[in-house]
Amino acid sequence: MNVNEQDKKIINPFGSDKDFAGCSIFGMLNLEGKRFSSKDPVRAISNMHERSNGLGGGFAVYGIYPDLKDYYALHVMYLSRDAKDRTDRILASSFDIIHDEEIQTRQANVIDPPLVWRYFVQPKKIRPENQTEDDCVIQAVMRINTETGKAFVFSSGKDMGVFKGVGYPEDIADYFCLDDYAGYLWSCHGRFPTNTPGWWGGAHPFNVLDWTVVHNGELSSYGINRRYLEMYGYKCTLQTDTEVLAYAFDLLMRRQRLPIEIVSQILAAPFWSEVDASQSKPNLMLRALRQTYGSLLMNGPFSVIVAHHGEMIGLTDRIKLRPMIAGTKDDILYLSSEEASIRLVSPTLDRLWAPRGGEPVIGRVGGKEIIEAQSIEVHQ
C-alpha cells in the first residue's frame, strides 16, 4: 500500500508520521496476583505531572473483570453515533455479544470526550479454518479501526481493560472512575505530545488482545518497523510508534512464541561488538536474531512497560536514552520514569535499581524472582 492510499485509511485525524512525545510511565505489579485499587498507581503517575502536558493520559488494568473473565472485553470509542451502528454490525457478525454498556464516567477536567462503550464478547464457533479466537478478535479490531472511520477499539483483552484519553493522567483516572476498579497489575502513562493535538485514540496505553504498551520516547526506526509489521498483516492505523511496539510484541511473543528474553534481544539488540566477542552458541543465536529481525530493532530513545496477563516487562533502548528505574517492596514490583514516584507510594523499598539499556526487567505473577540481566544498584 502506498503512502497516499494508506493515509486515507488512517483513523488518526491529526496524524502525521508518528507520535513525537516525551512522557512519564509507571507500572506496578503484585507478584502474588493480588488485586489492589487505583490509589497508588494514580498518585505515582500524577507525581510526574511535569512530564506530561495534559494532552494524553491512560491506564491498563489487569484482573479487572473477574466475573466475566472468559470473555473478550472490548473498549470502543466512537466519534459519531453512525460509527457505532457500523461497529455493532461488524461485532454482531463475528461475535456473540454477552453484555454491553456505556463505560461509566463522571465530570472531570478532560477535553472533548467521545462516547466510550464496553462489550463482552465471545467469538462465534463457526470461523474460517485455522482461525483462532485471538486471530478473530484481532481481525475484527483491525477492521473496525480501518473501515468504520470514526470508531476505535482501544482495548481487546480478557479480564483487563485500557482507559485513556486527552487530559492529565489523574484527570483521566477521575473521568473513568478508576477508583471503582481493582487489578493486580497497573501500567500508567502521562503524555507530552509535540505534534498531535490531543485525540483520545492517540493516548497510551496501546493494546492488542491482552498486550499493552506504555511508551516514553520516539522510534527513529518507526518507518521500517511499520513496513516490516505490515508484511505480517498488521495495519498501523494510528501511525504512532507505540502501536508498532504493541504489534511487535504480539507478532514475536504470541504468534511466534518467542520468550521475552529473546524478544528483548530483538527489540534492543546487543551491539555487534558484543555478538562478535565469541562464537559461542548464544552469540550465534544473537547473530541469527539480528539477521532475521533487524527490521524490528527499535532504534531511538525509548523506555517501555509492556504487560500481559501475569507478566510486566520494562525495557529501554540499547543506549538508554530514556529513563527507567525499578524497585521492589514485599510483593510489589515497581517500574517508573522517576524514582520519586516509587518513593511516594513506598517510602521504603527492599531494592531499587537502574536497569541497563536494552536489558529487560521482568516480573511474573507467582515468581518472587525479578528476572533481569546486569543492572546498577541505586544506593538507598
Catalytic residue ranges: 23
Secondary structure of residue 74 in the 3-state scheme: strand
| Contact pick of 12, 15, 18, 204 for other proteins (by CB under 8 A) | 18
Which one of the spans 15-23, 30-38, 72-80, 140-148 is the region binding other proteins (CB under 8 A)?
A: 15-23
Q: Looking at beta carbons only, is 98 or 262 nearer to other proteins?
A: 262
Angle, in degrees to the nearest 10, between helices 81-94 and 133-147: 160
Buried b (16+ CB within 10 A) or exposed e, 117-133: bbbbbebeeeeeeeeeb
In the complex with other proteins, the residue whose CB is nearer, 141 or 244, is 244
* Region binding other proteins by CB under 8 A among candidate stretches 64-72, 297-305, 307-315, 340-348: 297-305
Stretch that binds other proteins, among 23-31, 43-51, 286-294, 330-338 (CB under 8 A): 286-294
CB atoms within 10 A of CB 4: 7
Region from 68-76, 152-160, 179-187, 278-286 binding other proteins, contact rule CB under 8 A: 278-286
Residue 272 binds other proteins, judged by CB under 8 A: yes
Give the one residue of 59, 154, 222, 234 binding other proteins; rule: CB under 8 A: 222
- Supply the minimum distance, in Å, between the C-beta of residue 256 and other proteins: 5
Residue 252 · residue 211 · CB < 8 Å: no
State the residue for C-alpha cell 484527570. Answer: 171
* Residue 204 near other proteins by CB under 8 A: no
C-alpha cell at 72: 473478550
DSSP string, 7-71: HHH---TT--SS--EEEEEEEEEETT---EESHHHHHHHHTTGGG--SS-EEEEEES--GGGTTS
Binding flag, residue 262, other proteins (CB under 8 A): yes
Per CB under 8 A, 126 contacts other proteins: no
The residue type at 239 = Q
Q: Write out the DSSP string of 303-354.
A: EEEEEETTEEEEEE-TT--S--EEEEETTEEEEES-HHHHHHH-SS-SEEEE
CB of residue 224 vs other proteins: minimum separation in angstroms?
4
Which of the residues 32 through 51 are near other proteins (CB under 8 A)?
none
CA distance 332 to 31: 6
Determine, following the binding rule CB under 8 A, whether residue 20 of this chain makes contact with other proteins.
yes
Cell of 135: 486471530
Residue 269 as a binder of other proteins (CB under 8 A): the answer is yes
Q: Which residues bind other proteins (CB under 8 A)?
A: 1-4, 17-18, 20-22, 194, 217-218, 220-224, 227-228, 230-232, 256, 258-259, 261-262, 269, 271-273, 281, 284-285, 288-295, 297, 299-301, 318-319, 321
